[in-house]
Structures are given as C-alpha cells and as structure tokens.
Amino acid sequence: MKGKSIILAGGSGGLGAAVADDLAARGAIPVIGCKRNRDRADALARTIVEKYGVVAPVVVGDILDQTVRQQLLDAGRRAGLLYGMVPLVGQPARVPIETATELDLIESMRENFIGPVLLARDFAAALAGADGAIVFISTMQAIGVFSGSTAYAAPKAALIHTARILAKQWPIRVNVVAPGVNNAGMAEQSVRSGKYDSFLEKGMIPRFGQPSDVARAITFFLEPGNYVTGQILAVDGGLTTKM
C-alpha cells in the first residue's frame, strides 16, 4: 500500500474516516473527498498527518460534477501512485415508495448510483491500464429484502450488478462491500433512536457494526496482489443470513 493513493469520495463521513485511517496506517495516501463539510474533512486530514505523517489531500465538491471528479483524480496523482478508489458517498433516501415523488427517486439514483459509477469510469480511464482496484459501497438492504427500502436499496443493488459487469469488462479489480447497521455515519441517529434494537433482541446480530469492521473489508479488497474480483462481501454481523 505504501505510496499508493486511494481516492475516498465521502472519505470524511462516518465510515469513510475509518477507511482513511486504516489506509494511512498502512502507508497509503487517502484522498479525502466530501460534498460541502470541509471542516470535518480538514480535521480528519490533520489527525492523519499527526498519527501517521501521511499528508492526505482534501477535495470538496459534488462528485456528480465532472470538475470535482477531475480534482479528485488530480489530487490522487499528485499525492502518490494512483491506485484505488472507494466511493463512500450516498444518501439514505428514507422515503416510502407509496409517497415518493419522481424527484425523490431520481435524487437517490444520482447520489447512490450515478455519482459512484461516473467516478469509477473516470478513475478507470485515468489508470490507463495500470494496476488498480475499486470498491463500491452498497448496503445490506441491497442483499436482504427490507420493507420500505425501495428508494435507497434499488440504486445500491444496481451498484452490485454494475460492479460484476465492470469486473468482467475492465482489467482492474472491482468488488463491493455491503455494510449492515453501523453505529456511525448515516445510520447513527437511527441506531440511537432504537430503530434497530430488535435485531439485537432477537439475536440476529451480536452487536451493531463499527466503522473499523467496514474499513477492514475495504482494505482487504484494496490490497495489491489480491486475487479477488467481482465479489460482494456483506459486513453485517450475519443479519442478512437470518432474514
């Protein structure tokens, strides 16, 4: 990993920060992307340089914007040997299909599918045949069937099928991590509210997930020389096996 740059779109978020930390601990250079909360991204970059002496560039902006995707790639090239890309962006799209508007569905598709796929396309082109790896971030909701999840889960399921296509189509490795319920990031508030307590009470999961659980799986898929591609790894404490 040493000296390799890994673009982490959404790298400042609840899960992304753990990925950035794990990669920097191995000598890789995370490029920390975020949409607008620069202070949080800058604070993470400061922590990483203090802990590991790794200077992680920060790029602010929406990855649906081509110039932002280019900035991420340029920052990756300047920081080290461009090698990896993990889009940790997304929005929970908590709107039931019964009341969802066309715009709700389009917005979820843009945030959860189109942005990550366009960035993957630009990243693969920038590699120009060099070795590299992409890890898409899906969700347990794209593997198990959860009532009320259409707006969020459908674009995330599309991401899984896209990863399998691209793993076949491109010379680089493309895999997927599908997190379960984590006590961090976009699920943190729901966990605090007790929304998922029944999973614990029924013994479906031993505990809520932690960002480090997800980071470990992502780092595995990014390891140079890894012989795995086109695969989906659910990091959900076994939840989707018990539904």
Ligand X SMILES: NC(=O)c1ccc[n+]([C@@H]2O[C@H](COP(=O)([O-])OP(=O)(O)OC[C@H]3O[C@@H](n4cnc5c(N)ncnc54)[C@H](OP(=O)(O)O)[C@@H]3O)[C@@H](O)[C@H]2O)c1
Q: Tell me which residues touch ligand X (CB under 6 A).
A: 9-10, 12-16, 33-37, 40, 62-64, 88-90, 111, 115, 137, 139, 179, 181-182, 184-187
Which C-beta is closer to ligand X: that of 80 or that of 116?
Answer: 116
**What is the amino acid identity at position 60?**
V
Q: What are phi and psi of 232, to 5 degrees?
A: -120, 125
Residue 23 CB, shortest distance to ligand X, in Å, is 15
Least distance from C-beta 179 to ligand X, angstroms?
Answer: 4
The residue (of 107 and 131) whose beta carbon lies closer to ligand X is 107
Cβ pair 138, 160 in contact under 8 A: yes
Nearest approach, Cβ of residue 2 and ligand X (Å): 25
Contacts of 163 (CB under 8 A, 6+ apart): 134, 136, 174, 175, 176, 230, 232
Nearer to ligand X, 160 or 186 (CB): 186
Cβ partners under 8 Å of residue 89, min gap 6 = 9, 10, 13, 33, 35, 63, 111, 112, 115, 116
Give the containing element (helix H, strand E) for 159: helix 150-169
- For ligand X, the closer CB: 25 or 114: 114
Angle at 80 between CA 14 and CA 71, to 5 degrees: 65
Cβ at position 158, least distance to ligand X in Å:
13
Residue number with CB closer to ligand X (3 or 65): 65
Nearest to ligand X of 81, 200 (CB atom): 200
Comparing CB distances to ligand X, the nearer of 90 and 144 is 90
- Minimal distance, residue 177 CB to ligand X, in Å: 8
Cα 234 to chain center, whole Å? Answer: 13
Q: How far is the CB of 206 from ligand X (least distance, A)?
A: 16
Instruction: Compute the least distance from the CB of residue 225 to ligand X, in Å.
Output: 26
Cα→Cα distances 243→77, 92, 145, 199, 205, Å: 44, 21, 8, 10, 11
* Residue 25 host element (H or E): helix 16-25
